[in-house]
Amino acid sequence: MLNEHTLDQMRSLRLDGMVRAIEEQAASTAAAALGFDERLTLLVQREIAWRDDRRVARLLKAARLKVSSACVEDIDWRASRSLDRSLVAALAGGDWLRHARNVLITGATGCGKTWLACALGHQAARSGFSVLYVRAARLFDELQVAHGDGSFARRLAALAKLDLLIIDDFAISPMTGTGRNDLLELIDDRVGTRSTLITSQLPVKAWHTYLNDPTLADAILDRVVHSSQKIELKTAKSLRDTADTSAV
């Protein structure tokens, strides 16, 4: 095994995966029988895997998902939910993110909109995409504050860089004129370049009326609904009333 000084130098170079692999090889009799090229290959592979794991962990932490445990593998496929397996499989593949398309999830309270959104966000982070989850009311409150402290442009620029922005509970409370303008600015910065996932109790066809400004509503919905995949969740009973609330 390499001496401690060399291992410290490797740690200073942030080669933590290789250090861990070297320590494991030193304790393995099987590794001793391998040639130099084979052992080096294993060390490099371990370092790559280590960095990938660390990157995913950072992306998931930054995503701030409301349901951090949600993942597509745990989806409840009950027929009454009207959830298309092939659609979810396609979304899990990530092409919608690579092509900057949107996903709109609607349905009644308790049908699993937030859970499904977080599961797709979790999958996106595991695939290497930057993600942020935020409730709509909090997002617009933060943008309102940003107007006051002069950080609005900076905040919009940060949101524009995210590969996936999840806006949960859209249209749950009345929207102000400032909120409508902020939403248009936010969506306009992302259209065609980044993906947005929106959940709402209101069906998409009712969003125009909710926005309560024909001109701005046309502009916003043209950018949001165009190239979007719509998921309308249905369930006869709120999943919050069931014994198993671990999956959507």
Q: What's the pLDDT tens digit per position in 223-236?
A: 999 889 999 998 75
Q: Within 13 A of 145's CA, how many CA atoms are on the CB side?
A: 7
**Neighbour count for residue 205 (Cβ, 10 Å):** 10
Torsions phi, psi for 130 (to 5 deg): -80, 140
Q: How far apart are CA 151 and CA 149, in angstroms?
A: 6
Q: Which helix (H) or strand (E) holds 199?
A: strand 195-200
> Parallel, antiparallel, or unpaired: how do β-strands 131-135 and 228-232 relate?
unpaired
Amino acid identity, residue 18?
Answer: M
Quickly count: other Cβ atoms within 10 Å of residue 111's Cβ.
26
Q: Where are the domains of the chain?
A: 4-62, 64-241
Which CATH class, in words, describes the domain spanning 64-241?
alpha beta
| pTM of the complete model | 0.81
pLDDT in tens, 8-54: 887 887 788 777 887 777 777 777 677 778 777 877 887 777 777 78
Specify whether the CB–CB gap between 91 and 102 falls below 8 A: no
Q: Give me the half-sphere count of Cα atoms (radius 13 Å) on the Cβ side of residue 121.
A: 34
- 127-163 pLDDT, tens per residue? 999 999 999 999 999 999 999 999 999 999 999 999 9
